[in-house]
């Protein structure tokens, strides 16, 4: 069983709206994530990348296909069973300001998942303190409110919340795109470090192939609800095959004038080729 | 826009039908034996009772009664009153409605005009003393009911200074100036709370719009201040109009209290009398007519909103 | 109010404040009770409550006792507030009347809360059919003239006050319903609710812990307002003659006083004043609570005209002394400082910045959030928010020191000499007007074109910026177009007046990656075509590498480094510049990191 994927998405389709405004957000999507692996899911707005994350997390209902986690189809689990899955399946959202309840201290926010598991707040506090240190925040800040933290610090808190019950898979929905560029790299490195320590798997959703390069073992490119290409991180972020993946890669500028001039030339080629 | 108008019209008509039906059955449920209620303390014989019942059509099944009433309602016929001489209700309403409506409409006009002027002035110069005065007084003005303001005005302007009559209503066809004088005090005191409310809403909307991205971009294009101000006003207008629509209902309620304070023969006293005597057709007529006015005003304001704000049309 | 302000100040203040400066840790109750606007009205209301419900204890005269011998007396030692026309003691009636008032308000509240809050929660949390149905009922209730219905209820129930107040509660319920519903919908859309669901937390707990925490404050505030409205309506109904005219009530007292207004006007004063006092007390408490819980905050301080004139005068005096810079320069800013005024303090966000861009060249202005880069260019444009102001030694635009120009002349540079391209495309178009109107209006009012000429020019420009079917797009409203298309429209507007310099504030950040490249390419083409200078604000050194000739790096309101693009990329002097370049450069792939055993590097402790 060791080689069986941790998560398998097979032929998943999902619609938004109904009747005339029906919109196919996911169109027969298949992918798999192995234990301890980071799979990048890259696409632009409207590609369905966040929808796929939501479907895996049980926040959106598919119209067909299956989502198999640890050998078990998880889409139509009864609510109590689904809630038990929370121990293994966690999330980090994009918005560092909206993803933490403004009315609770970070101690209470971090303890909440543990309390669902039946722990009292006083018991949970020790674990919370440890977790804060794991994400490089001082333990003493446990009684502060989210509004007292910067974007990067909040994202660390969100990571701590996701990790506190030692899950096996975390869906990271654009976890760094709302942060300053210099902060982004420290958060990415923290995620890599924690993955090495705990063996957790990531589904890393992003709009930017360049960001994905550092953290993802494999990358899938999503376009209009369909996966157009999947492959190893190195190849996908240097020389992908599909024209759309190419366009996506060439479109993000690189901080080197000569290299960027070459990339722009390449992009102009791809663009005229597309048009 | 046409689709939007038709949609609004349909929902307005549906609301009227719902209210009319609801009030009819609720009134009949509340007064299980209207005939006995009408006789009140006067003793009556069984024959008198049956005769009255037949005369009012109460011997028919309730659904038939409803249909008869509703059918006539569609033609604008509210039936005849049950109390006193059997005169058509519409005649009574024709006398009473102008009283209440003249207070409401004058109040609404004062409220909208004053509120708009103050709101625009405060919104264009946020932080000025006028702006701060409006913000500071808004808390109390929101809450204190119009009739308290009216008592204060009455005391100063009518009792002490004698500029306005203390009570009574003068028909406009008899004396236009006297009519205006008779409704000024109630209308103004009715309007004051709303003036502050509209001013504050408009001011906030203008200030928000003024710090919005698109206004900065309009300025960056070199658009002169007067042209920018038009954009500000247009973006702030829906907020003020929404408030006016909401205020109309409360103005109607306030007018009913004030006309009674000023001893004016409006729909307030008619409602009180009709409900105390169990005069069901009158009760129904008053409810239907007053809701009709609210619905008409809301419908018109909705159209204006849809015309100003293209996004509102989608909903 | 002004989001720019909140952002501008939030950026410069340290994220974690010292304990003394953290108001959130003080409970709402504590802060409410320590403010005069909190404890004074609260104490007043409590005192009146005690007075009213302790009425039997104070040895008051019988409020119903009629004694014609002492009718219409002025206030005296026996009758503190005098007597009414039947000789009843006013003070006693006022105190006893309080019972009736508060009891009525309590009934209204209970009914309104029970009907309004749970339904609002259901409608807001579940949406769908229940929401539609409940919303419709609420709309119907709100469009009914309540006083008419209440008069009918009073008549039909033979003046049963409790039933009447309960009916009033039904009319107040939509207020709670709408508030609860809209707050719930707002909270429900927050990612932390999704996070809670993923964390395995049940719906019940989400509603009672997360949502309740957020909607509790607005509900309390609404309650303060509702009590006021209920007391007012209750008295209003009593003035209309509803209720027992013998039993003491404030409205009843006013009703009978109205009858003798000409003979004894004093009678109306005690009940009217009392009612006004209580209503005002509740209103003030509600407003204060609103401020404390941040539901109705006022943060920005708007500078008055006098303050602005003073600041502008001082700046102009200094600027007059500045000497003309190099003729080649299109824009030169020297010693720019930008300050925002908040209610409490003035915060300087840009501390003396120099910028320069030569004619026909491209300057990349690089920095992260809080660096002051956007504030600098708004100061350059003269378009800071209402509570912000700029001072500088000089701001030269096309050979003129704009600080010495009168406001109208400075404004005249906009659209003709300087063009502006904003960051977020959709919010920079007026939602009320068509795209065509927004292009044509400045052409007519600024460039003085005729209607047909302007329209033709707008169509031509739209075609130039790569919009297919310009005629159709002219008729669309901003919410009907994509972000990329909106940005093209804004660029068309910016270049319409053939400006000599374009200032672009992160023009690609809000767009999809593939659209970013398109917009950047368009800007480059237009810049070359028209020989314009371009100031492009960005956080991405990739954009600089792509388009810029020179670069200025900003951090915390100061310039860190500036120079030619080639030399900065080759050997940046400042470590922060190198860090920024690094962040947009090609990183080692994950495979390489894992293989080489390269540690991701321990992140700086809490240093994010």
Is B243 inside a domain boundary?
yes
CA distance A183 to chain C (A): 6
Are residues C361 and C243 part of one domain? no
C19-41 residue pLDDT tens: 333 444 467 788 888 888 889 99
Question: Taking a C-beta distance cutoff of 8 angstroms, is the pair C86, C39 a contact?
Answer: no
Do A and B make contact via 3 or more CB pairs under 8 A? The reply is: no
Question: Is pLDDT larger for residue B208 or for residue B146?
Answer: B208
Give B110-132 as a DSSP string.
Answer: HHHHHHHHHHHHHHHSTTSHHHH
- DSSP H helices in C406-538: 407-413, 435-445, 451-464, 470-474, 483-495, 513-530
Asked if the Cβ–Cβ distance from B274 to C415 is below 8 Å, we say no
Q: Is the pLDDT at C311 greater than 90, yes or no?
A: no
Here the tokens at position C134 are 């409940």
Interchain CB contact of A230 with C (< 8 Å):
no
Confidence of residue B175 (pLDDT cuts 50, 70, 90): confident
Determine the residue of chain A that is closest to C603 in CA distance.
A186
Q: How far is C49 from chain B (nearest CA, A)?
A: 19
Mean pLDDT of C368-389: 89
Query: Which token pair is C565?
Result: 């693009």
Q: Are C174 and C141 in contact (CB under 8 A)?
A: yes
- Domain count of the fold of chain B: 1
Q: In degrees, to the nearest 5, what angle opens at C-alpha C549 toward C-alphas C546 and C552? A: 100
Domain end residue (candidates: C243, C261, C294): C294
Pick the last residue of a domain from C242, C262, C294.
C294
Residues C408 and C286 in one domain: no
What values do phi and psi take at C295, rounded to 5?
A: -80, -25
**C-alpha to C-alpha distance for A62 and B66, rounded to whole angstroms:** 50
- Let me know the angle formed at the C-alpha of A172 by A171 and A173, rounded to the nearest 5 degrees: 105
Q: What percent of chain B shows pLDDT beyond 70?
A: 98
- The three-point CA angle B85-B89-B94 to 5° equals 120
- How much of chain C, in percent, has pLDDT values that exceed 90? 44
- Nearest-Cα residue of chain C relative to residue A189: C600
Complex ipTM: 0.87
Give residues with Cβ within 8 angstroms of A152, minimum separation 6: A96, A179, A180, A183, A186, A187, C608
Residue C51 Cα distances to C47, C57, C61, C282, angstroms: 6, 9, 14, 17
Cα C79 from chain centroid (whole Å): 52
Q: Which helix (H) or strand (E) holds C481?
A: none
Domain of residue B302: give its range.
89-314
Kindly report the CATH number assigned to the domain that includes residue C415. Answer: 3.40.50.300
* Judgement on whether residues C578 and C502 belong to the same structural domain of the protein: yes
Residues of B in contact with C145 (CB under 8 A): 249, 252-253, 256, 290-291, 294
Residue B44 lies in a domain: no
Q: How confident is the model at residue C295, as a pLDDT?
A: 46
- Inside any domain, residue B59: no
**Contact by Cβ (8 Å): C52, C96:** yes
The phi and psi torsions of C535 (rounded to 5 degrees) equal: -110, 115
Question: DSSP 3-state assignment of A206?
Answer: strand
Q: How many domains does chain C have?
A: 2
For the four alpha carbons of B220, B226, B227 and B228, in that order, the dihedral sign comes to: positive
Closest CA to A103 of C297, C28, C34: C28
Q: How far apart are CA C115 and CA C109, in angstroms?
A: 10
- Asked if C97 and C104 count as a contact pair (C-beta separation under 8 A), the reply is no
CATH number at residue B205: 1.10.3720.10
The secondary structure of C235-281 as a DSSP string is HHHHHTT-S-SSS--HHHHHHHHHHTTTT-GGGGHHHHHHHHHHHHH
d(CA C563, CA C356): 10
Residue C361 DSSP SS3: coil
Same domain, C33 and C168: yes
**Per the domain annotation, does C340 fall within a domain?**
no
Distance CA B50, CA B56 (A): 10
Give the Cα separation of A56 and C595 in Å (integer): 30
pLDDT beneath 50, residues of chain A: 1, 275
Summarize the confidence of residues B102-125 as an average pLDDT: 90
What's C207's DSSP letter?
Answer: I
Q: List C-alpha distances in Å: C362 to C329, C357, C507, C524.
A: 12, 7, 14, 9
Bin C430: left if φ > 0, else alpha if -120 < ψ < 50, else beta. Answer: beta
For C482-520, how does the pLDDT look when each residue is reduced to its tens digit (9 = 90+)? Answer: 999 999 999 999 999 999 999 999 999 888 888 899 999
Residue C197 has pLDDT above 90, yes or no: no
Same domain, C131 and C204: yes
pLDDT at B300: 87
Structure letter (DSSP) for residue C61: P
Which of B208, B256, B276 is nearest residue C155 as measured by Cβ atoms? B276
Element (H or E) spanning C331, and its range?
A: strand C329-341
Quickly state the pLDDT bin for C247 (edges 50, 70, 90): confident
Cβ neighbours of C448 in B, within 8 Å: none
What is the separation, in whole angstroms, between the first and last Cα of chain C?
Answer: 29
Torsion from C-alpha of C514, C515, C518, C522, nearest 10 degrees: -160
Give the gap in angstroms from C-alpha A2 to the nearest C-alpha of chain C.
21
**Residue A68: φ, ψ to 5°:** -110, 120
Given this model, what pLDDT does residue C35 score? 83
Q: Using the 8-state DSSP alphabet, how is residue C89 labeled? A: B
DSSP of A15-70, one letter per residue?
EES-GGG-EEEEEEEEEEE-TT-EEEEE--TTSSHHHHHHHHHTSS--SEEEEEET
B244 neighbors B301 (Cβ within 8 angstroms): yes
Instruction: Give me the torsion for CA of C127, C130, C136, C140, rounded to 10°.
Output: -130
Query: Can you give the pLDDT at residue C418?
Result: 95
Q: Which of C525, C526, C521, C523 is nearest to C536 (CA)?
A: C523
Query: What digits encode the pLDDT tens for the residues C151-196?
Result: 888 877 878 889 999 999 999 999 999 999 988 988 888 888 888 8
Which candidate from A44, A189, A215 shows the least CB-CB separation from C512? A44
Look at residue C240 and tell me if it is in a domain.
Answer: yes
User: Beta-carbon neighbour count of residue A61 at 10 Å?
Assistant: 11
Whether B274 and C446 lie within 8 Å, measured CB to CB: no
Q: Is residue B159's pLDDT more than 60?
A: yes
Nearest CB partner across the interface for C145, out of B142, B144, B294? B294
Higher pLDDT, B159 or C580: C580
User: Which subunits have 3 or more CB–CB pairs within 8 Å of chain C?
Assistant: A, B
More confident of the two residues A91 and B164: A91
Q: Is A204 helix (H, G, I), strand (E, B) or coil?
A: strand
Q: Which of A59-68, A94-103, C422-431, C468-477 has the lowest mean pLDDT?
A: A94-103
Contact map slice: A 56-75 vs C, CB within 8 A? 57-59
Q: Which domain holds residue C104?
A: 29-55+90-294
Contacts of C328 (CB under 8 A, 6+ apart): C358, C359
Rounded to the nearest angstrom, the minimum Cα separation between B69 and chain C is 19
- Whether residues C362 and C274 share a domain: the answer is no
List, for residues C313-331, the tens digit of each pLDDT value. Answer: 666 666 556 666 677 889 9
Q: With DSSP H G I counted as helix, E B as strand and the rest as coil, what are the percentages for chain C, rounded to 5?
A: 60, 10, 30
Could you report how far apart the first and last alpha carbons of chain A are, in Å? 47
Give the contacts of C134 (CB within 8 A, at least 6 positions apart).
C119, C120, C122, C123, C177, C181
Interface of A with C in 156-195 (CB under 8 A): 156, 158, 161, 180-190, 192-193
Mean of pLDDT values over B163-186: 84
In degrees rounded to 5, what are phi and psi of residue C419?
A: -110, 155
pLDDT tens digits, one per residue of C199-235:
888 888 888 888 888 888 889 888 988 999 899 999 9
**C-alpha distances out from residue C443 to C411, C437, C450, C454, C457, Å:** 15, 10, 8, 6, 9
Rounded to the nearest 10 degrees, the angle between the axes of helix A181-198 and helix A151-163 is: 20
Sole residue written with tokens 């237009």: C526
Q: Which of C277, C294, C311 is the last residue of a domain?
A: C294
Please state, in angstroms and rounded to a whole number, the distance separating the CA atoms of residues A34 and A3. 8
What is the CATH number for C224? 1.10.3720.10
Q: Is the pLDDT of residue C3 over 80?
A: no
Residue C537 has pLDDT above 80, yes or no: yes
Mean pLDDT of B136-151: 76
Query: Is there a contact between C200 and A84 if contact means CB atoms under 8 Å apart?
Result: yes
Tokens read off for C82? 């005098």
- Tell if the CB–CB gap between B144 and C232 is shorter than 8 Å: yes
Structure letter (DSSP) for residue B80: B
**Over the stretch B18-36, which tens digit does the pLDDT of each residue have?**
888 988 988 888 887 888 7
- Which element (helix H / strand E) includes A216? none
Q: Which pLDDT score, from 0 to 100, does residue C603 have?
A: 40
Q: Which chains touch A (3 or more CB pairs under 8 A)?
A: C
Q: Identify which of B127, B222, B277 has the shortest CB distance to residue C411.
A: B222
Cβ separation of C156 and B30 shorter than 8 Å? yes
Nearest to C446 among B222, B275, B287 (CB): B222
Q: What is the pLDDT of residue B248?
A: 85
* Buried b / exposed e along C288-297 (16+ C-beta atoms within 10 A): bbbbbbebbe
Predicted confidence band of residue C7 (pLDDT cuts 50, 70, 90): very low
- Alpha carbons within 13 angstroms on the beta-carbon side of residue B130 total 12
Judgement on whether residues C453 and C574 belong to the same structural domain of the protein = yes
Give strand pairing partners of C83: C89
C-alpha pair distances (Å), A38 with each of A93, A207, A217, A229: 16, 16, 5, 16
DSSP-H helix ranges across C293-426 = 305-320, 373-381, 407-413
Shortest CA gap B199–chain C (Å): 16
Query: Quick check: C239 and B268 CB within 8 A?
Result: no
Task: Tell me which chain A residue has its CA closest to the CA of residue C210.
Answer: A101
């Amino acid at each position: 069983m060791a080689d069986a994927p941790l998560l398998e998405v097979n032929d998943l389709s999902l619609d938004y709206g109904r009747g005339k405004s029906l919109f196919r957000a996911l169109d027969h999507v298949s992918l798999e994530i192995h234990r301890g692996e980071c799979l990048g899911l890259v696409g632009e707005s409207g590609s369905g990348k966040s929808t796929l994350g939501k479907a895996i997390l049980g926040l959106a209902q598919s119209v067909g296909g299956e989502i198999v986690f640890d050998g078990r189809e998880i889409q139509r689990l009864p609510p109590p069973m689904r809630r038990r899955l929370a121990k293994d399946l966690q999330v980090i959202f994009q918005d560092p300001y909206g993803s933490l309840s403004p009315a609770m201290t970070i101690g209470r926010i971090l303890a909440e998942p543990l309390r669902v598991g039946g722990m009292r707040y006083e018991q949970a506090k020790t674990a919370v303190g440890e977790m804060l240190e794991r994400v490089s925040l001082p333990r003493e800040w446990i009684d502060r409110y989210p509004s007292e933290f910067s974007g990067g610090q909040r994202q660390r808190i969100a990571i701590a919340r996701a990790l506190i019950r030692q899950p096996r898979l975390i869906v990271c929905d654009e976890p760094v795109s709302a942060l300053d560029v210099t902060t982004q790299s420290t958060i990415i490195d923290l995620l890599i470090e924690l993955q090495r320590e705990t063996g957790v798997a990531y589904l890393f959703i992003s709009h930017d192939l360049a960001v994905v390069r550092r953290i993802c073992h494999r990358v899938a490119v999503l376009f209009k609800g369909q996966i157009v290409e999947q492959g190893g991180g190195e190849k996908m972020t240097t020389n992908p095959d599909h024209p759309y993946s190419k366009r996506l890669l060439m479109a993000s500028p690189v901080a080197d004038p000569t290299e960027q001039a070459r990339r722009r030339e390449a992009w102009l080629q791809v663009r005229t080729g597309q048009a | 826009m046409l689709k939007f108008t038709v949609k609004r019209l349909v929902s307005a008509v549906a609301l009227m039908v719902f209210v009319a039906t609801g009030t009819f059955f609720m009134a009949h449920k509340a007064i299980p034996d209207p005939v006995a209620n009408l006789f009140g303390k006067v003793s009556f014989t069984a024959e008198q009772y049956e005769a009255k019942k037949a005369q009012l059509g109460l011997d028919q099944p309730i659904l038939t009664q409803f249909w008869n009433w509703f059918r006539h309602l569609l033609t604008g016929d509210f039936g005849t009153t049950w109390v006193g001489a059997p005169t058509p209700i519409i005649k009574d309403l024709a006398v009473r409605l102008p009283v209440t409506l003249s207070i409401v409409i004058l109040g609404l006009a004062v409220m909208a005009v004053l509120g708009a002027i103050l709101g625009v002035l405060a919104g264009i110069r946020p932080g000025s003393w006028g702006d701060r005065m409006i913000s500071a007084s808004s808390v109390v003005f929101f809450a204190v009911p119009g009739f308290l303001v009216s008592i204060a005005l009455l005391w100063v302007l009518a009792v002490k200074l004698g500029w306005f009559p203390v009570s009574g209503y003068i028909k406009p066809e008899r004396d236009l100036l006297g009519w205006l004088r008779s409704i000024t005090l109630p209308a103004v005191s009715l309007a004051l709370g709303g003036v502050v409310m509209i001013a504050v809403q408009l001011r906030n909307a203008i200030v928000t719009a003024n710090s919005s991205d698109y206004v900065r971009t309009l300025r960056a294009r070199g658009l002169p201040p007067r042209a920018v101000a038009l954009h500000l006003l247009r973006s702030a207008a829906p907020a003020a109009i929404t408030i006016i629509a909401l205020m109309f209902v409360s103005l109607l309620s306030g007018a009913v209290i004030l006309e009674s304070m000023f001893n004016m023969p409006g729909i307030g006293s008619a409602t009180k009398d009709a409900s105390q005597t169990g005069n069901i057709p009158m009760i129904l007529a008053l409810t239907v007519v007053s809701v009709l006015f609210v619905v008409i005003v809301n419908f018109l304001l909705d159209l204006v909103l849809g015309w100003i704000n293209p996004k509102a049309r989608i909903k | 109010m002004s989001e720019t302000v909140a952002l501008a100040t939030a950026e410069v203040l340290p994220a974690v404040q010292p304990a003394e400066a953290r108001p959130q840790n003080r409970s709402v109750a504590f802060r409410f009770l320590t403010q005069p606007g909190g404890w004074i009205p609260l104490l007043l209301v409590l005192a009146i409550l005690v007075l009213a419900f302790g009425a039997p204890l104070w040895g008051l005269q019988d409020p119903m006792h009629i004694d014609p011998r002492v009718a219409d007396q002025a206030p005296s030692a026996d009758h503190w507030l005098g007597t009414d026309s039947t000789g009843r003691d006013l003070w006693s009636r006022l105190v006893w009347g309080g019972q009736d008032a508060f009891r009525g308000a309590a009934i209204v509240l209970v009914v309104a809360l029970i009907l309004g809050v749970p339904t609002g929660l259901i409608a807001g949390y579940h949406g769908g059919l229940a929401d539609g149905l409940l919303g419709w009922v609420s709309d119907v209730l709100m469009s009914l003239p309540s006083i008419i219905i209440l008069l009918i209820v009073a008549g039909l129930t033979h003046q049963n006050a409790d039933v009447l107040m309960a009916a009033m509660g039904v009319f107040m319920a939509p207020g709670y319903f709408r508030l609860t519903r809209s707050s719930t919908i707002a909270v429900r859309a927050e990612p932390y609710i999704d996070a809670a669901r993923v964390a395995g937390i049940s719906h019940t707990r989400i509603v009672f812990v997360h949502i309740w925490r957020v909607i509790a404050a607005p509900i309390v505030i609404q309650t303060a307002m509702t009590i006021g409205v209920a007391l007012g309506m209750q008295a209003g109904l009593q003035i209309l003659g509803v209720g027992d005219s013998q039993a003491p009530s404030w409205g009843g007292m006013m009703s009978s006083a109205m009858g003798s207004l000409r003979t004894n006007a004093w009678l109306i004063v005690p009940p009217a004043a009392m009612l006004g006092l209580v209503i005002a007390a509740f209103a003030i408490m509600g407003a204060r609570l609103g401020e404390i819980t941040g539901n109705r905050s006022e943060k920005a301080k708007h500078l008055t005209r006098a303050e602005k004139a003073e600041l502008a005068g001082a700046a102009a005096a200094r600027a007059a002394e500045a000497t003309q810079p190099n003729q080649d320069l299109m824009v030169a800013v020297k010693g720019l400082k930008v300050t925002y005024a908040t209610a409490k303090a003035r915060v300087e966000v840009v501390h003396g910045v120099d910028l320069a861009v030569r004619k026909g060249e491209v300057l990349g202005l690089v920095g992260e959030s809080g660096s002051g880069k956007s504030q600098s260019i708004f100061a350059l444009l003269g378009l800071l928010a209402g509570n912000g102001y700029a001072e500088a030694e000089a701001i030269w635009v096309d050979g003129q020191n704009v600080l010495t120009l009168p406001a109208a002349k400075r404004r005249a540079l906009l659209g003709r000499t300087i063009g502006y391209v904003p960051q977020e495309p959709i919010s920079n178009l007026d939602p009320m007007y068509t795209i065509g109107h927004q292009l044509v209006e400045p052409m007519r009012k600024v460039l003085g074109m005729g209607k047909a000429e302007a329209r033709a020019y707008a169509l031509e420009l739209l075609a130039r910026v790569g919009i297919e079917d310009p005629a159709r797009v002219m008729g669309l409203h901003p919410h009907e177009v994509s972000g990329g298309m909106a940005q093209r429209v804004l660029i068309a507007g910016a270049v319409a007046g053939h400006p000599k310099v374009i200032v672009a504030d992160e023009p690609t950040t809000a767009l999809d990656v593939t659209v970013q490249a398109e917009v950047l390419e368009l800007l480059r083409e237009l810049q070359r075509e028209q020989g314009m200078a371009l100031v492009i604000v960005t956080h991405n050194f990739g954009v600089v590498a792509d388009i810029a000739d020179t670069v200025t790096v900003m951090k915390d309101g100061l310039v860190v480094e500036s120079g030619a693009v080639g030399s900065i990329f080759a050997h940046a002097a400042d470590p922060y510049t190198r860090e920024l370049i690094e962040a947009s450069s090609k990183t080692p792939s994950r495979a390489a990191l894992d293989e080489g055993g390269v540690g991701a590097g321990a992140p700086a402790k809490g240093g994010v």
